[in-house]
Structure 1
Amino acid sequence: MEDINKDGDERGTRYDQSDMTRMGKIQELKRTHGRSCQWRPGWFILDVHVDIRWVWVDYPDNVGNGIDVSEIQHTSWSLNGMSPTSGGQYHWVSELASPRYQRVLSYITGWMSVLAWQAGAASGSFLTGTIIQGLITIRDPDYESQNWQGTLFVFAMILIIYFFNVYAASWMPRIQNLLLALHVICFVVVITVLWAMAPRQSTSAVFLEFSNTGGWSSMGLALMVGQISAVYAGLSSDATAHMSEEVRDAGRYVPMAIVWGFFTNGLMALILVITYLFAMPSLEDALDDPTGFPFIYVFKNAVGTSGVNGLTAIILIPVIFSNILFNASAARQTYAFARDKGLPFARWIGKVNPKRKLPVNAIGLSCVISCLLALINIGSDTAFHAIISLNIAALMWTYVVSIGCLLYRRLACPETLPTQRWSLGKYGIWVNAAALAYVIFAFFFSFWPSRTAVTLTKFNWSVVIFSSVFIISVVMYILKGRKEYAGPVISVRRGETPLAGVDRHGIRRDF
């Protein structure tokens, strides 16, 4: 208990204060996740992954190409223990890259991270709307879903997100408790129902048969392309990292939460996918289901219409709450990059509401961006999916650069690495190397289409969107960034002792 700051100002422990001092940042946000709930960061990871896992089991490419658990979570294990900041990857790049390239690499990484998280936030709200439309199709087989209706559902979801993240932010720890319970209950109910009531595939069909639904030249290539659905399932592993400035003793508990979140989600996802494949009598019929969701087809084969509504509803409720948490991470990442003058209108975006101690402007901006992206869906769902597909490629870029910089620092000058309170020890460098190899692989295949005979609607437009954003960020750096953006490393205080802190009067003291 001696590590807890007792003055009631919610600035966290002395380690948190020391970390903020070393990084040259002012504690503006409340560290609402205290010692009595130190595992809530881990629950946050579990909660954010609720919708991701259901997207995963829904994606036919992954189902048709076998079972795989994404290892993408390796990306931030060691990084979080060194600099627990809402900025995440762009901050780590700024600290770890060669001084010659740190500004430009950090700037581009920041842009990619912001846009990827914003695209991901929009995709979560869109998923909610399309699941609701799928439920309507079950109730009324004559219903034909329209893009504009899906967009209205997105707007409704965004209103809920804004309310909870601004006006009900103090409830967030309780929401995480509730969502964790729903998470476990939903998992147990769905697994139990499918094993007890669904028709059963043979073991050989589940584990030994593979489907090349994309028409690729070999099964091996089909498996590689199908990996991207599994990659998508693990994209939000760094969500807790962007909430670091609101977690007590973040340097220790945030990386621990990410590790345990990975193993827990990975195990639950593997059980779920195996169950799902056993309960799917026909892949072709699942892909052609009028609802557009293969998992609803599986439910229909196990229970009646009312049962499908019930099973889908207990999935939809956690998905809605996980969208709230996803937006919270997206807003914090955007706020942090603006705080370091990486975005236009940085002063406004990076402003913290003094009463609520929340980045209200960044939260509002994230909601507006989701609304604008949803409007694109009215005109062209192909264009909308092209934009949100940026989520995978852009985040893979941030992982490649941040892990690459960490490996460079570890191999070239390990003595310059900042002190961390949580580490993988001697295994860290091997985990980093394996993670870098995997994210390079994922980055490469993130640009591939899901099937051959590519048309304008089947083409993977993420390569175009990614290239355009990359060029824009470079141009922005040349015109604006190199004059205004120094990178967070400029504020970092080298050699700061990890047990240094700041008292209630803002004076640095050693404990």
Structure 2
Amino acid sequence: MGVIASVSSTLSFGLVNGGHVGMVFGWLVPCFFVMFIALSMAELASSMPTSAGLYYFAAKLAPERYSPLASWITGWANVTGQVTLVCGIDYTCAQMITTAITVGTDGRTIISAGGTYGILLALLICHGLLCSSGTKVLARLNLIYAPLTIGTTMAAIVSLLVLSKGNRATTKEAFTSFENNSGWSNNVWTFFLSFTAAMWTLTGYDSACHVSEETANAQKAAPAAIILSVMLTASLGWLTLIAVSFATPSVSDVLSSDLPLPMGQVFLNNLGKSGMLAIWGAIIVVQFVTAAAQTVDASRVVFAFARDNALPGSFIWKRINTHTQTPVNAVWFTVGAAAICGLLGFSETALISLAGSSVIGLYISYAVPIFLRVTSGRSKLIPGPFGLGRLAVPIGTIAVAWVIFIVIVLLFPPGQHINDEDMNYAVVIIMAVFLFATLSWVTSARKWFIGPVRTIDDVVAPK
């Protein structure tokens, strides 16, 4: 989930929509509610560890008559969120690289939108090659990734607090100063829009479900991974943003920077050119590995959905490579689809559109099985080692209510007065997929799609 890289990518959401308050409390509030979703998902992952994950959960918990439809909706929402999340992470990684180039050349070299898209394509190809490797290689990558992420995050927090001495915001300003730099006149609504940063960062923890078929003791490991990753990301992210808030005496100065990512300007102001480039290089590595982890996750979702014949060309995407024993074709489907989504990089609101699309797609896919868990699936769930007991219904209800609220927020544009350049294209992406999935269901899929397909026969005990 790449704490420091995600915070660096999305700092603009808090700065624009609330200033110091948007940074600090625009992170804390959604983190509180996301924990309810994580707890509910952890219970489902413990009960049903499978790479199909969420759409498998939906199929098992829905009334039998609506099981295929619930699975279809959840699967398409999750695939949409997963692919756009890959694109969003690699797009911001490309922006980090262009930021480093601009700082390294003292502003003499500014990469165009076309150049940024070229870097995005190069990153996607690198991740396609890397994620086509065997499971053991990917596991070793994750072992490096965790300490690198936490170490870089701690280094950023300490360096900002220490080196900003004499050029800090006061404690009162850091926690209570509210600045509305958005295009909305209502301050409460503006504050809601700052939630985008935390919501985009706190995605992808369902990957623990999707790689469970490649994980030992998944009934315990998957729920532990979901809960711990959300808790650590939420905590470290909040501490990082508090440090950034103190290190930002003037929000308007940071927002007026020519750098693609405002966080680069914060580091430059406090650490100087050499210090900024040193820690920025580490953040780029964190974001690169984050994107690799997300590409693995997304490819497993594509593979599982194709295994159930739900994607166009499923016979291609569900093939397992005989050498690596991984779904290599699904990896390249993910990379190709992300490259198409990356064309949004030529718009002014690329990050808003990509972040909105990934959060909406993923959180709808999170909410459907949780909703079914607290309604029709109460008596259907066979608890695993981790269960919520009597708390499952109230926790699940809060989780679903939060998703409904945040989806509505993320469909809105960044300002009241918009044109084609300022539009939030998340609406276009989500509606396009929704219409395609709906038409496919009505005209064809409802006649043959039965939900997750059994690929392993039951083991019959000898008589």
The normalised TM-score by structure 2 is 0.90
Aligned positions of 1:227-242 closer than 5 A: 227-242=195-210
Aligned positions of 1:98-247 closer than 5 A: 98-140=63-105, 141-167=107-133, 169-198=135-164, 199-247=167-215
Q: 1:342 deviation in Å?
A: 0.9
Q: 1:459 deviation in Å?
A: 2.1
Contact 2:43 2:383 survives alignment (8 Å): no
Aligned positions of 1:439-478 closer than 5 A: 439-478=403-442
Letter in 1 for 2:371: G
Letter in 2 for 1:132: I
Q: 1:201 deviation in Å?
A: 0.6
Aligned positions of 1:36-75 closer than 5 A: 49=3, 51-59=5-13, 60-61=15-16, 64=19, 65-66=22-23, 67=25, 68-69=27-28, 70=31, 71-75=33-37
Tell me: CA distance 1:451–1:181, structure 2 relative to 1, closer, same or farther (3 Å).
Answer: same
* Pick aligned residue for 2:372 from 392, 405, 414: 405
Contact 2:102 2:108 survives alignment (8 Å): yes
When structure 1 is superposed on structure 2, of 252-261 and 166-175 the one drifting more is 166-175
Contact 1:82 1:418 survives alignment (8 Å): yes
Q: 1:385 deviation in Å?
A: 6.2
Q: Which residue is equivalent to 2:248?
A: 280
Letter in 2 for 1:212: N
Q: Which residue is equivalent to 2:225?
A: 257
Tell me: CA distance 1:275–1:62, structure 2 relative to 1, closer, same or farther (3 Å).
Answer: farther
Q: Which residue is equivalent to 2:327?
A: 359
Q: 1:451 deviation in Å?
A: 2.3
Tell me, in whole angstroms, the C-alpha distance in 2 between the residues paired with 1:237 and 1:340.
23
Letter in 1 for 2:50: T
Tell me, in whole angstroms, the C-alpha distance in 1 between the residues paired with 2:342 and 2:194.
26
- Per-residue CA deviation, residues 310-356 of structure 1 (Å, 9 max, x unaligned), is 11111111111111111000000010011111111112111112332
- Per-residue CA deviation, residues 379-434 of structure 1 (Å, 9 max, x unaligned), is x5657864664212222322232211111135xxx332223221122322221111
Q: 1:50 deviation in Å?
A: 5.4
Contact 2:203 2:359 survives alignment (8 Å): yes
Tell me: CA distance 1:237–1:347, structure 2 relative to 1, closer, same or farther (3 Å).
Answer: same
- Per-residue CA deviation, residues 213-251 of structure 1 (Å, 9 max, x unaligned), is 224343222212222222112122212211111111111
CA-based RMSD: 2.3
Contact 2:59 2:451 survives alignment (8 Å): yes
The normalised TM-score by structure 1 is 0.82
Tell me, in whole angstroms, the C-alpha distance in 2 between the residues paired with 1:63 and 1:133.
26
Tell me, in whole angstroms, the C-alpha distance in 2 between the residues paired with 1:274 and 1:364.
39
Tell me: CA distance 1:129–1:247, structure 2 relative to 1, closer, same or farther (3 Å).
Answer: same
Tell me, in whole angstroms, the C-alpha distance in 1 between the residues paired with 2:428 and 2:284.
32
Q: 1:486 deviation in Å?
A: 0.4
Tell me, in whole angstroms, the C-alpha distance in 1 between the residues paired with 2:185 and 2:431.
27
Aligned positions of 1:333-352 closer than 5 A: 333-352=301-320
User: Any idea what SS the aligned residue of 1:452 has?
Assistant: coil
* Pick aligned residue for 1:486 from 447, 450, 454: 450
Tell me: CA distance 1:389–1:223, structure 2 relative to 1, closer, same or farther (3 Å).
Answer: closer
Contact 2:17 2:181 survives alignment (8 Å): no
Tell me, in whole angstroms, the C-alpha distance in 2 between the residues paired with 1:383 and 1:263.
28
Tell me: CA distance 1:388–1:215, structure 2 relative to 1, closer, same or farther (3 Å).
Answer: closer
Aligned positions of 1:250-399 closer than 5 A: 250-375=218-343, 377=345, 380=347, 386=353, 389-399=356-366
Q: 1:507 deviation in Å?
A: 4.1
Tell me, in whole angstroms, the C-alpha distance in 1 between the residues paired with 2:62 and 2:7.
33
Q: 1:51 deviation in Å?
A: 3.5
Q: How many residues align?
A: 448
Letter in 2 for 1:190: A
Q: 1:278 deviation in Å?
A: 0.6
Tell me, in whole angstroms, the C-alpha distance in 2 between the residues paired with 1:191 and 1:386.
29
Q: 1:111 deviation in Å?
A: 1.2
